[in-house]
Amino acid sequence: MHPSLILHDATITTLDPARPVAQAAAIADGRFTAIGTDAEILALAGPGTRVLGLGKRRLLPGLIDNHTHVIRGGLNYNMELRWDGVRSLADAMGMLRRQVEITPPPQWVRVVGGFTEHQFAEKRLPTLDEINAVAPDTPVFLLHLYDRALLNGAALRAVGYDKTTPNPPGGEIQRDARGNPTGLLLARPNAGLLYATLARGPKLPAEYQMNSTRHFMRELNRLGVTGVIDAGGGMQAYPEDYEIIRKLADDGLLTVRLAYNLFTQKPKEEKEDFLRWTRSVTYRQGDDYFRHNGAGEMLVFSAADFEDFREPRPDLDPGMEGELEEVVRILAENRWPWRMHATYDETISRALDVFETVNRDIPLEGINWFFDHAETISERSIDRVAALGGGVAVQHRMAYQGEYFVERYGPRAAEATPPVARMLEMGVKTSAGTDATRVASYNPWVGLSWLITGRTVGGLRVTPERNCLDRETALRMWTEKVAWFCGDDGRRGRIAPGYLADAVMPDRDFFTCAEADISGITSDLTMVGGRVVFAKGDYADLDETEIPPAMPDWSPVRRFGGYAGWGNHDMATTAHVAQACGCASACAVHGHDHAAAWGAALPVADLKSFWGALGCACWAV
């Protein structure tokens, strides 16, 4: 059978030991069918084969996020103003001000995770007075990591918090001298107060949620993401909150492969949840685009150790083991894999006691279970995970919370938090992801940069070079090594015959660009199953995805886009942008034309501010 598509004249990093580098690849029926030289692969072309030359550009396997919250994030993406990657608080507050101006009542302006105060040049969060000054009447909700939320006066009125509102367990409503809420909500150490408050805001109707989810997937494709494992989440009820993503899957509109885990929702009802779900859902139910992946990341609430490094490590309930064992036995009997949220080794050690007990009665061999996060996992626990055939899914939460971890535990403790290089040396199945969107950003290149450089987004070096990864190993953590965690080992994560044809062509060479530029990579061409789901610049005509504008019309996505803001979700023409900023040249600093980094028309002052913040030589023209 002739291939439907041939990619050639490329520098392909295959991650296949049999042929690590190639020039060309053939694709048919959504899979790579042959990899080789230009001459070898072009000879396979038939009369209906489309042939695409990549101009010697680097092609990589598509990136797979081992832990994210795309289902929940997609339902809300169009309502959220993103400060991910914005380098100055002044710019962030300018974005907030402009969004407040166009957000109609009773809607809120929400900045929900993906940033840290340390990324800003000012190294601080806005004050409540500053937020109230730009938004006296429009509710504003800012979520910062796991530790706090800032609400302006209008948001406090909207949620009904006053001097009679009690502090919930594990949370604090900060008050002034008269007992009135100030607008600062603190996790002490449970972030439940923060999330419960966010849930009080208006929701999008179903049609808008579908549009929102498509725009979120589009943003992931723009960054080279072709697959994710959705880790469930609090207040993400099954099956109700899965209907939007299921409808998109049924209609063939998913542009990201999604494997989902089921997350129990209520304390003391976990056993009943999993008994009900294992009767109605089978492991791997679905297809290559939308498929069940097991249980977690919450198995039982008594086993949850909260991840706010500004607070002391919490001690788990002494009855945790009994509750966890009941659930794990149900999962093991039904051969369901599971993932378990565990920040600290103390949690991991106690959970392993339970897993080993169950294993004596119901062998766990062949069940792809794993721990999530594992920032302080010990070598002893790593050995025990390996002995039981489990894995560890790490995320770049330390890139956003490293400064707080160092402040509490010291720089020596942060040097291998988590001990990624050591886990790989010890042969434990290990992969990488983001834990987006309420803490770290969904941008995979920030995660890759953290693995390679050991630096937080604020620039602090927390991981010494000896504990960092080389670029190829880091890339494997985001591709082939994730495949085991979603039951696709040998099917995804490489550019090799028989593998799903998921690939990304970054806008700069991942292997040769400066380390400081890795976190700024985006995609020029992203393919899922051989279909182009995102393309820009010289390849824009190949893009096969059409999405209506973000809904509603006041959505922050229309004006600011996603990561780093500034409308990067929708590419404008070079001529339009050159006319707007008065400069027809390419950006001398960043090596790409203005159209590749700028979207819908904005005022000239905004354009100049944007390029000035990047240090672009064009900005003053």
**CATH among 2.30.40.10, 2.60.40.1180, 2.40.50.100, 1.10.10.1590 for 5-62+503-542:** 2.30.40.10
- Do the Cβ atoms of 567 and 560 come closer than 8 Å? yes
Q: What is the model's pTM? A: 0.91
**CATH among 1.10.1200.10, 3.40.50.1820, 3.10.310.70, 3.40.50.620 for 79-198:** 3.10.310.70
Residue 235: the pLDDT is 83
Strand arrangement, sheet containing 225-230 = 63-68, 225-230, 257-262, 290-295
Report DSSP state, residue 537. Answer: G
Residue 596: the pLDDT is 35
Residue 593: the pLDDT is 36
Residue 328 CB coordination number (10 Å): 26
Nearest to 348 by CA among 374, 369, 328: 374
Nearest to 213 by CA among 230, 190, 237: 230
- Do the Cβ atoms of 139 and 109 come closer than 8 Å? yes
Residue 230: the pLDDT is 98
In the chain, the largest separation of any two C-alpha atoms, in whole Å, equals 80
Domain chopping of the chain, boundaries? 5-62+503-542, 79-198, 571-614
Residue 307: the pLDDT is 84
Residue 234: the pLDDT is 86
Low pLDDT (below 70) residues in the chain: 565-621
Strand, helix or coil for residue 556: helix
> 227 CB contacts (<8 Å, ≥6 apart)?
62, 63, 64, 65, 256, 257, 258, 259, 482, 486, 492, 502, 528
What confidence tens digit (pLDDT) does each residue in 476-533 have?
999 999 999 999 999 999 999 999 999 999 999 999 999 999 999 999 999 999 999 9
